[in-house]
Amino acid sequence: MFAQQVVNAVMLGSVYAMVAVALTLSIGVLNFLNFSIPGLFMVGGMAVWAFVHAGVPLPLAAIAALLVAAIASLVVERFTWRWMRTASPFVPLVSSMAFLLLFENLATAYWGSDMRVLPQPFGGDNWRLAGLVIGIPQLVGLLCSIGLIGALSLLLKHTRFGRALRTIAEDSDTALMLGVDINRIVALIFVVSGLFAAFAGILFALSYRQAHPFMGEAVGIKAISAMIVGGMGNIWGSIVGGLIVGLTEVFAIRYFGADFVDIAVFGLLLAILFIRPTGLFRGMQIVRTGI
């Protein structure tokens, strides 16, 4: 059923959108692509599995997984930005990629590389509406994604943190002269983006009941594609891009098979770059302008 495939695509696209927003915060403010984001996605998924497997109730397991991701984000910030921001722009990018590999290999060394299966949350119930089957975990994940992204948009537009963040995005030297505590704000950017990525990993693990040390790689690449499709540095563009990538993936599987997924997604990316190299929403720089 076409409508059912659209529902499935929206659910999957919301995960891509959250990771794309995490990447957008990094590149829109700090002007570098934080490759540790897919690793933090994996940290969220694997950590929630580990806590649930240890007998921790699911809500507490999710909170604990987010705390682990926040600490990991601060470690990434310390060694990719604070110590290296005066170096070549490629240095933070490469060091963030090193953290991705580090997180994956630490998880593999501790838990092994096998797929881990999570218990069915919410008793395995589904919500049925007009013939559509909507998984409760996916629905909860979608609502959480919408709420968090909306809250982030308000935070960027109406708070001192948002104004300070936009000042740093425009010119960090000017922000320093204006009295902005750059180290504190940048650390918060890393934490917020890391929490978005980890929360997406938790939702993915609970929705699809699986987690493994390399789960962030494929999702990260598709989230980067979503960010580029929507427009670099544009939060709402990243959301639209995530939904487009989700739709493309689900319908590629439906009509052509799983082997065609990457061809469809990256073919779409190339087509959009040829037609509109700046992405679909150029000029609406949410991070920079707050609108």
- What is the CATH number for 238? 1.10.3470
Question: What is the pLDDT, as a whole number, of residue 284?
Answer: 46
Q: What contacts 62, CB < 8 A, 6 or more positions away? A: 48, 202
Number of domains comprising the chain: 1
Domain that holds residue 181: 2-289
Question: What is the pLDDT, as a whole number, of residue 153?
Answer: 80
Beta bridge partners of 128: 133
What is the chain's pLDDT, residue by residue, as a tens digit (291 residues)?
677 788 788 888 889 999 999 998 888 777 788 999 999 999 999 999 999 999 999 999 999 999 999 999 999 998 888 777 666 767 778 889 999 999 999 999 999 989 999 887 766 566 666 666 777 777 777 888 888 888 888 887 778 877 777 777 666 666 667 667 777 888 888 999 999 999 999 999 988 889 999 999 999 999 999 998 888 778 888 888 999 999 999 999 988 888 888 899 999 889 988 888 888 876 445 444 444
Beta bridge partners of 211: 116
Question: What is the pLDDT, as a whole number, of residue 233?
Answer: 75
Question: What is the pLDDT, as a whole number, of residue 173?
Answer: 65
Asked if 193 contacts 22 with a C-beta cutoff of 8 angstroms, the reply is yes
57: left (phi over 0), alpha (psi -120 to 50) or beta: beta
